[in-house]
Amino acid sequence: MRPDDIRTATHCPYCALQCGQWIGPSGAVDARDFPTNAGGMCQKGWTSAALLTHPQRLTSPLVRDSRTAGFRETGWDDALGRVAGRLAALRAEHGPDSVAVFGAGGLTNEKAYLLGKFARVALGTSQIDYNGRFCMSSAAAAGNRAFGIDRGLPFPVTDLDDAELIVLAGANVAETMPPLMSHLSTARLVVIDPRRTPTAERAIASGGLHLAPRPGTDLVLALGMLHAAVVDGHLDLAYVDDRTSGFDDAWRIASQWWPERAERVCGVSAADMRTVVRLLATSSRRYVLTARGAEQHAHGVDTVTAWINLSLALGLPGRPGSGFGTITGQGNGQGGREHGQKSDQLPGYRRIDDPAARAHVGAVWGVDPDSIPGPGRSAVELLDSLGRPGGPKALLVFGSNVLVSAPDARAVADRLDALDLLVVADVVPGETAMRADVLLPVAQWAEEEGTMTNLEGRVLRRRRALAPPPGVRTDLEVISGLAAALDAPGEFPADPQLVFDELRRASSGGIADYTGVSYARLDAGEALHWPCPAEDHPGTPRLFADRFAHADGRARMVPVDHVEPDEDVDAGYPLLVTTGRVLAHYQSGAQTRRVAELAAVDPEVFVEVHPDTAARHGLADGELADVTSRRGTTTARVRCVPTLRTDTVFLPFHFGGAGAANNVTNPALDPVSRMPEFKVAAVRLAPATTGSTPGEDAGPAAKPVAHAGGSGV
């Protein structure tokens, strides 16, 4: 093979399955045989290189001299100098918490780590959080309190290959993570989802079941199934006695939720509940997996906990061939929450309010532990505080499109416009970038080195195959440059390997211990799952075989009870809306809407409606409808779906502007995880008041235009 034909082994930039990819020197992508994807990829993976040379690719720093002016190109020294000067002035006048940072679950481990360090050391602010708060926070909190550790899948994904039964609670993997379906091909599937998704269709075809609860009642369904497990004689009493605590308290509540009572609330038949419990109890290789459908609620932690309680009652976690897990969403959703960009955490999954954790990390950073700020605001609370009295006056955004991804988008737009300074580092001019005062062009996955941690806790190497376009820097170079311009104490290297070696030291002894993971071992092909506490340690692909991570080695069964969603239907808002993903698009759609092959599949936002529901509201298939909640309106094309519940409509969340699903979603927060209630909101339907087609454009022009309001940089 000639040198110019040599391909680089790396991973897809999208979801947490992190499919193996080959990238050639011309940017051509091919599938690579890797355990998670077994040589396959979805449409997003196959087209992932389209953005590398996209005509709307950002290649020069852009600044505006006032909020009423358009962008103009400038050099990096000027752009970083402007940002550093304004940040320093705001901090001097209003204190360090006047500056905030917002990260992402798609950033590499190195970026997540250095961004957290930058916020707390270079800026001295407690105000940092990330979009993973919208994704995995409820499952993380539930896993930590039940098992003492949060790792999405506590076993390799290949363990699912010969499963007999898999219950998917709120997961539509056939569209969100298609290559994962190859690992589920032998199993009988039970899919719990208000919609009859392609995953639910596969369940029915496999001889399994589709259970369609009313949105917001998943917890009731799990309680009814736990009741059936005990009353029908399926409780694994020896496992419960030997490996868990808290059963009596959990049962005290579940005993009140006999399946017939649960049926009246959630709409799933008592017979189906008993059938699923019997299948889980009698199958030899069985798994319960949760995802966003169970988690994105104002009581999502308790909902996931209810599924954990059921799994523990049946003796699944830690048993060979069985288990409980959560399907992580974003590409580095696992690693992104382990290394310090979450408002309440330090590297290694340490609590920021733990004195021992602060002392350890302070020593690695070379700073006084007392100088490390305490916990900050969670994502929604952080966004809501922007520009308000006592809130941040500047925001730096890395890898996130909050104007589309956060709930109550209209309120988020108001808060962004109230800032004195908005800085966005991105690859394309998405909706949030369009509102920036300074827009910094950064490298893409094929143009940088680093590591990612996939849904099974396996640390992977991202390798540079191509040079970024002239004028583009990596996020690490941006963070390093800003730290230098601010004359920050400590070291902020731009070399990803140096950053990772420091991350290893900072994580040492923590829950997510990466001490033994190194570029050398990863490049040699070792499969390293954290925790990996020493360089001669093989990693931990399977957790809980002998004990759980609590001090007594037992899992905790936590008592939880049903709480109604934050808002319910009434005469003015008679329907429930739930949101989710579709096959062709990813997250806020800022990237996938610009890929012609993907945009052709779903070029605009749509709303799924049962035909009878559409008719009652004066709508027909293909017409435009306004979906209106107490917060705003989303305009979408009607798709009549006979299998949908008549009390529910569905919106994909990949579109912006008038087509943004988060125009209508509820920012009510889980009291533990601070997860917003994306999955349930009360809405009404009506024929659209505008004739425009929402979401039909791939995105804004390559040169973003000005936005109004506020003051300049």
* Average pLDDT score, the chain: 94
pLDDT at 102: 98
pLDDT band at residue 690, thresholds of 50, 70 and 90?
Answer: confident
Q: Report the pLDDT value the prediction gives residue 9, as an integer from 0 to 100.
A: 96
pLDDT of amino acid 692: 59
Quote the percentage of the chain above a pLDDT of 90.
Answer: 94
Structure tokens at 499: 């950053």
Q: How confident is the model at residue 709 (pLDDT cuts 50, 70, 90)?
A: very low
Identify the pLDDT of residue 710.
30
Give residue 3's pLDDT band: very low, low, confident or very high (50, 70, 90). very low
Is 153-327 a domain of CATH 3.30.390.50? no
Quote the percentage of the chain above a pLDDT of 70.
96
Comparing CA positions, the residue from 155, 167, 169, 164 lying closest to residue 185 is 164
Q: Across residues 654-661, what is the average pLDDT? A: 95
The residue-averaged pLDDT of 276-287 equals 97
pLDDT for residue 62 is more than 80: yes
Closest CA to 482 of 398, 402, 377, 415: 398
pTM for the complete prediction? 0.95
* CA pair distance 12, 599, nearest whole angstrom: 19
Torsion sign across C-alpha atoms 685, 690, 694, 699: negative
pLDDT band at 653 (very low <50, low <70, confident <90, very high): very high
Paired tokens of 152:
């999405």
C-alpha 555 chain-centroid distance? 25
Has residue 549 got a pLDDT over 60? yes
Ranges of each domain in the chain? 75-135+333-504, 153-327, 575-687
50-54, 252-256, 600-604, 697-701: the lowest-pLDDT one: 697-701
Q: How confident is the model at residue 694 (pLDDT cuts 50, 70, 90)?
A: low
pLDDT digits (tens, 9 = 90+) for 194-215: 999 999 999 999 899 999 999 9
**pLDDT classification of 68: cutoffs 50, 70, 90:** confident
Distance, CA of 175 to CA of 224 (rounded, Å): 28
* Lowest model confidence (mean pLDDT) among 25-34, 109-118, 252-261, 502-511: 25-34
Q: Are 450 and 147 in contact (CB under 8 A)?
A: no
SS3 23: strand
Is the CATH code 3.40.50.740 the one for domain 575-687?
no
**pLDDT (tens digit, 9 = 90+) per residue, 148-175?**
999 999 999 999 999 999 999 999 999 9
Q: Residues 6 or more apart from 699 whose CB is under 8 A from it?
A: 56, 428, 429, 430, 590, 593, 594
Cα–Cα distance between 464 and 446 in angstroms, integer?
5
Per-residue pLDDT, 67: 81
264's CB contacts (< 8 A; 6+ apart) are none
pLDDT at residue 693 in the model: 58
Q: In CATH, what number does 75-135+333-504 get?
A: 3.40.50.740
pLDDT tens digits, 291-330: 999 999 999 999 999 999 999 999 999 999 999 999 988 9
**Which pLDDT band holds residue 700 (cuts at 50, 70, 90)?**
very low
